[in-house]
Structure formats: structure tokens, C-alpha cells
Amino acid sequence: MKKCVIPGTFDPIHEGHFAIIKRASKLFDEVIVAVAKSSEKKPKHSLEEREKLAADKCSSLDNVTVKTFDNLLVDFVRSEGAQCVVKGLRSVKDFEYESNMAALNSQLSKDFETIFMIADPELKEISSTQIRELESMGVDTSSLTRNSDC
């Protein structure tokens, strides 16, 4: 059984994340969306909130489960018995950051591969940072965070 982990801070989860999760759910038997505690990033939404938002968003996808973790990603992936980590790439900036993380994780563990998916062009501009900024200014962000598919 092919299983992947899609890790992130998901503060909050948005359409761009969901598109990657949905695409991965067609390639893998099981997808685990792993919401990191990421205390060092001082997330705006609590871990429980981020987990619930992600679970609500992915509820229409039968082979997707949402979990939280507060340890090294390589240890979480090993404990789940997954063969892959999937990350979405929107830009060269994402590539620089994510390829660095993938290389570091590969030094820490050879148990899994990191696979990158290029973001859909129409979703490339969405980011959790912008959503948080809009939320703080009282703007309704539901069109960016909610999906009619769910």
C-alpha cells in the first residue's frame, strides 16, 4: 500500500494546499495531512484549530487523514510507515526552501522520498501568510480557504 505524508503548518489550510492534497489522493492509497505544531513560527491559529480546519476541508476525500505532529518529520513519517513526503511548489523561492528541507531530511533518513508537485497556475498566488493578513484586516477569506468540492 502506497502511503504519503503531506506536512505543513497549515496556518490556515487553503485552496492551494487542498489542490495538492486532492492530486496526491489520486496517486496514493493513503494520504496523511500532517499538521506541524511549528511553535517557532508562532502560528496564528492553535494546533487544534488548524487540525480541525484541515479535517473539515479534506472530509470529502476518503483516503485522506489529518494528524498532528510535534517531532521531527523523518520520525513522524517513519512512525506512519509512509514511503513519500509530498510538497507543493509555487515558485523558485518555494523550490529553494523545499529542496533544502528535502536534502536535510534525506540526510536524516533514507526511508522515504520527497516528491514535489507544481502548483496549479491559478492557485500559485494563494498563501497562508496573505490569508492571515487579510483575516487580521477583517476581510472575508472564505473563497480562498473553503472549497465547493468539500
Q: Residue 12 interacts with ligand PNS (CB under 6 A)?
A: no
Cell, residue 17: 494546499
Question: Which residues, other chains included, contact 33 with Cβ-Cβ below 8 Å and sequence gap of 6+?
Answer: 6, 8, 10, 13, 21, 54, 58, 64, 65, 66, 67
Q: Which of 3, 17, 45, 87 is flagged as catalytic?
A: 17
Contact letters (x/-) for ligand PNS, 30-69, by CB under 6 A?
Answer: ------x-x-------------------------------
Using the 8-state DSSP alphabet, how is residue 147 labeled?
-
CB of 34 to ligand PNS, least distance (A): 8
CB 73 within 8 Å of CB 7: yes
Which residues bind to ligand PNS, rule: CB under 6 A? 7-9, 36, 38, 72-73, 104
Catalytic site residues? 17, 41, 90, 128
